[in-house]
Amino acid sequence: MGKGVYISKAVAVTCVVAAIGATATIIALSVVYAQERSKNELSPSATADPTTPLPTITTPSTPKEPWQHYRLPDWIVPISYNVTLWPQLEPGKDGLYIFTGNSSVIFRCIKETDLILIHSNMLNLTLFDGHLAKLRGLNGTTAPSMKETWLEFPTQYLVVRLTGKLQAGSTYELHTGFVGELADDLGGFYRSEYEEDGKKRVVATTQMQPTDARKAFPCFDEPAMKAVFHMTLIHPREMVALSNAMNYEPINITMAGQDLMQTSFEPTEKMSTYLLAFVVCDFTYIGTEPGVGVLIRIWARRKAIEEDQGDYALEKTGLVLAFFEKYYNSPYPLTKSDQIALPDFSAGAMENWGLITYRETALLYNSAVSSNGDKEWVARVISHELAHMWFGNLVTTRWWNDLWLNEGFATYVSYLGANQAEPLWDMQDLIVLNEIVGVMAVDALASSHPLSSKEEDVLTPEHIGELFDSITYSKGAAVLRMLSEFITEAVFSRGLHTYLEEFKYSNTVYTDLWKHLQMAVDEAGISLPGTVEVIMNRWILQMGFPVVTIDTQSGKITQKHFLLDPESVVDRPSEFNYEWFVPVTWMKTGGEENQHWLLKKEDTNPAMALGPDDWLVANINMTGFYRVNYDMRNWERLLAKLSSQHQDIPVINRAQLIGDAFNLARAKMVSTTLALRTTKFLLKEIEYMPWETASRNLDYFYLMFDRSEVYGPMQAYIKKQVTPLFMYFKDVTSNWTRIPDKHTDQYNQVNAIAMACSTKVEGCQELTTGWFSQWMKNTSNSISSNLKSVVYCSAIAAGDVEEWDFAWSMYKNATIAAEADKLMYALSCTRQTWLLNRYLQYCLDPEKIRKQDATYVISYIAGNPVGQSLAWDWIRSNWDYLVNDYGSGSFSFGRLIDGVTKRFSTEFEYKQLLQFKEDNAGQLGSATTALEQVLERTKANMDWVTANKKQVLDWFILEASSD
């Protein structure tokens, strides 16, 4: 492997020659930007000034004209684009960063038409003979002249009306020139900034998914409009340009009096616009040797590469790629895999074909500073993105309504790929905690939504943006995991292979996958109670999931739509009447039994009727996406087994019993005291999954009761339970001087310290504050990487402004993103309200808190009991600013609303939410669905607190004082 800026030798010069011809337009656009913008603003066919907000225009509810529809018509299909862009990385006299460019798209006319619609958003288009584009026919075809052109802002189209008709079967070329703002909004072609060696540096980079390629150049910006892209980037000579494909030899040019470099790239494979990427930066890389298999390069800031932060990603990328080649039985489709860590990036990562972009924390790892959790995150995210290279990129869903298939699949198999990279971590088990448990809480709401929607119900960019939620990613992963379990992983893999082979370089709908999996099932001779489509449609076309109730006295099994709030009204109809085909796996007294298919509301399995000494657990290893309830006799036997020999129950099912019981209690299907009793065995438990599940469920009790008289007795009980775990880890780590060997033990050590310190276990707070004080005095940080987050938080909570200011200084000077993230969270742990208010105000200043991080900071503050009301008041006061200044590209408003309202459980807070909804009607954006879910959750919280407060208080008082 070698470090440096490697650029390939030229293999063709045609693209370079073509790109040189394009530079004239680039120069002209750069010189006349101000005049052109002014002229266009006065023109009847003017474009938008990318620096000023667009007027709000409402599209008619029943569109009359083609340009009022959000979906492209089927008259035209793109073949290829030739795009040249010049990002100018110094601000102009007006303080703006801009990019100039031109694009030519060759398209085929499918149906005769006199109208061209192509997406364009926030671009200032150049006039050609009074029009915003120019058109020519190819291969002897004569193009009709232009009648009029304009920008249709609501639907983000450049509209071209012609004097005559385009002929079906003929090809044409549409050319545009444009200027855009290289803004810091994290969407389209945008600007990222960082400091290195005391100097501010600027990166020009992209995030196109889902609908922002149109912000970089006019294009047919829908997933099914696949084409080949010929990219050229003009940039400073000391910088490097990257794109999806490998570059040709760069050439030196002079433009507008500047000495520049022009880098052109090989044509891409046929691909969707949202997968396009290009970057101009001063980064360097570590990589494999050119010419030996797939070229793998990890790009990042020079200091990050020099500090070996890219080594882990490089080491694991080849392993994961090889795993997926075998898993899909299909070679990697490209010649290179570039992965780049960006200082500013809205998502975790983006699967751009051949140039994957990441947050720094998702790609970079430093063994001296980063925790095992950081390392796992890097492995999982790399695996997720590489899985997309086939499933999502080579074969792409036709429209965003099937986003779940793309993202749910990648989420599921990311655990398989990460397991290959780190076989000792048991990654295939951790999917239960990381994905399944959390999304069940969301999907148990009446305001949830099905995985797959109808195409006509997902139209606007806002609608599309709302689909990027936990249902899409985590429930998608859960139901695909369930499917692979009951047809077997080998059969699942064979079906994927034929699916990819048939549809490579094209688009699909979810039923195409069902068809190929059914072929594999039939070939393997697997017997199912229905076709794959019949079984799985019940899981993807209706929201929610069932609770399966087993009566171990009679063997009777029933299913029912599980709702956290049984009083909530489900007004979304289901063609399946909220019934599922449920694969019920189960064990009796430790022995696994034959799977039972529950195909209707009620059924009977005589084998599930137990003898007097037997016990039963269903949903083995939580492979099914459902909760399980039992008759009280079996619950008592399970509690007795947990108390006497908890290891007889598999560890995932020990966690499941806790999670099911707490959620069933919230749904009023079992008593809350029964749920609390499932935590009593934790005195003897040392495994991570049961403890983590208990911690998460008890967190709900904290959210509901940490402002009430329940708090004290609850703290006393948890202190009693966690003390043995704290002492266990003190012992196995030789008084905190070594790291546990097992991956999940390292996680559970963090749980032990966090819970012990928060409940005032003797010696814990002294331990964490002592470590932190030593760091403050010596400036050399000797705190174990795994423990940093909990130590920082505990010490800052116990401290004052001196600790806070020290941590802030360390945060601002951190050169490793994972370390900065830990400090960013810990700063929210202070109990000083004025410091939390100051921290909130920092969120309005991107120089202090990056836009990509502001959502998290506000949610962290809201997670602090002292900060919850501060954060809620702050959001309401600043909502207009957040919407207007940050925009949906950089702010996840749904995540924000969810994060700041988790404690809401009173009538007063419910009314505040309703008022917020009324005050901000029309500008909730991606928070619209989340707000409805929060309203439902708050109502359920109110009812739960009223029903349970007294019995919970009595139980904690009793158990805290018992031996």
21: CB partners within 8 A, 6+ apart:
none
Find where tokens 């990318």 sit. 50
Cβ of 193: how many Cβ atoms within 10 Å? 16
- Alpha carbon distance 439, 416 (integer Å): 20
Report in angstroms the alpha-carbon separations of 545 from 473, 933, 939. 16, 17, 21
Give one DSSP letter per residue of 754-801, joined into a string.
HHHHHTT-TTHHHHHHHHHHHHHHHS---S-GGGHHHHHHHHHHHS-H
Q: Find the helix or strand (DSSP H, E) in which 196 lies.
A: strand 188-196
Cβ of 501: how many Cβ atoms within 10 Å? 14
**Nearest Cα to 380, choosing from 395, 361, 393?**
361
- Alpha carbon distance 79, 476 (integer Å): 32
Are the CB atoms for 391 and 384 separated by under 8 Å?
A: no
- Alpha carbon distance 8, 609 (integer Å): 70
Query: Quick check: is 385 catalytic?
Result: yes
211, HSE (Cβ side, Cα atoms, 13 Å): 26
CA angle 898, 899, 905 (to 5 degrees): 75
The residue annotated as part of the active site, out of 222, 266, 360, 385, is 385
Rg (CA), the chain: 29
- Alpha carbon distance 783, 750 (integer Å): 13
Strands (E), 573-657: 582-584, 586-588, 591-592, 596-598, 602-604, 616-618, 627-630
602 exposure class (CB count in 10 Å sphere: 0-12, 13-18, 19+): exposed
Are the CB atoms for 775 and 782 separated by under 8 Å?
A: yes
Are the CB atoms for 790 and 806 separated by under 8 Å?
A: no
Residues forming beta bridges with residue 344, ordered by sequence position: none
Maximum alpha-carbon separation in the chain: 92
Find where tokens 């002249």 sit. 145
Residues forming beta bridges with residue 100, ordered by sequence position: 86, 179
777: CB partners within 8 A, 6+ apart:
none
Q: At what angle do helices 893-900 and 868-881 cross, to 10 degrees?
A: 150
470, HSE (Cβ side, Cα atoms, 13 Å): 19
- Alpha carbon distance 629, 551 (integer Å): 9
Q: What do you get for the CA distance between the two ends of the chain, in Å? A: 61
**Nearest Cα to 138, choosing from 108, 168, 103, 176?**
108
- Alpha carbon distance 476, 451 (integer Å): 7
Q: How many residues does the chain have?
A: 963
Query: Residue 840 phi/psi, 5° resolution?
Result: -60, -45
Report in angstroms the alpha-carbon separations of 364 from 282, 301, 309, 361, 413. 17, 10, 5, 6, 21
Query: Residue 393 phi/psi, 5° resolution?
Result: -100, -55
278: CB partners within 8 A, 6+ apart:
85, 189, 204, 205, 206, 231, 233, 241, 242, 243, 244, 355
Residues forming beta bridges with residue 174, ordered by sequence position: 105, 135
What would the two tokens of residue 236 be? 């400073």
Find where tokens 């050399």 sit. 780
Are the CB atoms for 209 and 252 separated by under 8 Å?
A: no
Active site residues: 385
